[in-house]
Amino acid sequence: MISGIFKKINLNTQAKIGNDIHIAKSYLMHGQPVAIPTETVYGLAANGLDASSVAKIFKIKERPFFDPLILHTNNLDKVRGFVSHIPAIANKLAQQFWPGPLTLVLPKSTLVPDIATAGLSTVGVRIPNHPLTLSLLSLLDFPLAAPSANPFGYISPTTALHVHNQLGAKIEYILNGGPCSIGVESTIVGFEDDKVIVYRLGGLGIEDIERAIGKVHVISENENNPAAPGMLKSHYAPKIPLYRIGINNIEIFEKFTRIDGIDVANNQIGSMVFKDIMAEFPLNNQFILSPNGDLNEAAKNLFSAMRQLDNMPLKAIISEVFPPEGLGVAINDRIRRASVQ
């Protein structure tokens, strides 16, 4: 039995990076969080039905307790074990999109501790689509609570090394499943009365959801629910101020001249573009997210580019706004949350 919800965390350890699901399982069974790969971003995982294990996630991430977690498992039968009900429409989405980058918000059973859901009567649930993590989950008789494996508010990690750089001193093991294939967090969908509500844009496009179940309501910035800070305006943010700029190059230049005290010629600006270079800005600090113009590839590269720029001696990062279709919608959402404007 672990006493108290905050067990002391050894700050002197350096996490091992490996691909052994049995080692990961062993830490998890002993209440120790482990980083895991998913197709969206890397998660910081712990037993989602054990309050003391879940508390460690909050402590390591310095995440506020009002921000609820998502529980991950590997099949629908297991989901039925910790939710009280699955509406027919949720079941349809689950059948069609799981495993995949879709989180469903469902009424929770009493097995799920309040700390995991920030006291809400619902719980976010997902079956992630990553072979290593699905194998790990198949060995466990509990779901894994797993928010992104980064300090709260910073850019989500999409490689094992990203996790190691920020949380390596606070956890014991990082399960390495390679770079995340989607690269942005899951799309979160909830069910209120007869309505289907999208709380967070993400790795599953709205078009795909609507093709399956018809029109959905995408919650807007103004309707943000403070109890769901995945929706907070400022989130996923680099430390260097990021500015969003329109696609037209003249507009870019005009906007740029309004950013005081920054010298373009002196390489103080880094940039992220979709497929074409922006010649006005230093090319050695410029990341082209998809030279072929593929929004899925751009999503996959987004957070990694943002991190690399944030580690350069820059005064500003500027980003294009992406075409608002497919994963472009989620990319624009993350860039907006990361920006100072």
- Residue 313: which of 259, 256, 246, 262 has the closest Cα? 262
The answer to whether 111 and 82 are in contact (CB under 8 A) is yes
Q: Residue 222 carries which DSSP code?
A: G
Which of Mg ion, ligand AMP, none is residue 123 near (CB under 5 to 8 Å by kind)?
Answer: ligand AMP
Nearer to Mg ion, 78 or 307 (CB): 307
Structure-token pair, residue 334: 């993350």
* 3-class DSSP assignment, residue 140: coil
Q: How far is the CB of 225 from ligand AMP (least distance, A)?
A: 7
286 belongs to the binding site for Mg ion (CB under 5 A): no
Which of ligand AMP, Mg ion, none is residue 188 near (CB under 5 to 8 Å by kind)?
Answer: ligand AMP
Nearer to Mg ion, 113 or 147 (CB): 147
Instruction: Tell how strand 187-192 and strand 43-47 pair up.
Output: unpaired
SS3 content of the chain, % helix, strand, coil (to 5): 30, 20, 50
Stretch that binds ligand AMP, among 73-81, 210-218, 224-232, 303-311 (CB under 6 A): 224-232
**Binding string to ligand AMP for residues 177 to 206, with x set by CB under 6 A, is what?**
--------x--x-x--------xx------
Q: Binder to Mg ion among 38, 47, 129, 148 (CB under 5 A)?
A: 148
> Cα–Cα distances in Å, from 11 out to 1, 15, 61, 167?
22, 10, 13, 10
117 belongs to the binding site for ligand AMP (CB under 6 A): yes
First CA to last CA across the chain, in angstroms? Answer: 48
Stretch that binds Mg ion, among 44-52, 60-68, 144-152, 213-221 (CB under 5 A): 144-152
Stretch that binds ligand AMP, among 122-130, 206-214, 259-267, 273-281 (CB under 6 A): 122-130
Stretch that binds Mg ion, among 26-34, 143-151, 216-224, 267-275 (CB under 5 A): 143-151
Residue 34: which H helix or E strand, with range?
Answer: strand 34-36
319 belongs to the binding site for Mg ion (CB under 5 A): no
Q: How far is the CB of 101 from ligand AMP (least distance, A)?
A: 11
133 belongs to the binding site for Mg ion (CB under 5 A): no
Cβ-based neighbour number of residue 27 at 10 Å: 17
Q: Chain-centre distance of CA 283, in angstroms?
A: 29
* Cα distance between residue 74 and residue 21, in whole Å: 14
Nearer to ligand AMP, 271 or 300 (CB): 300
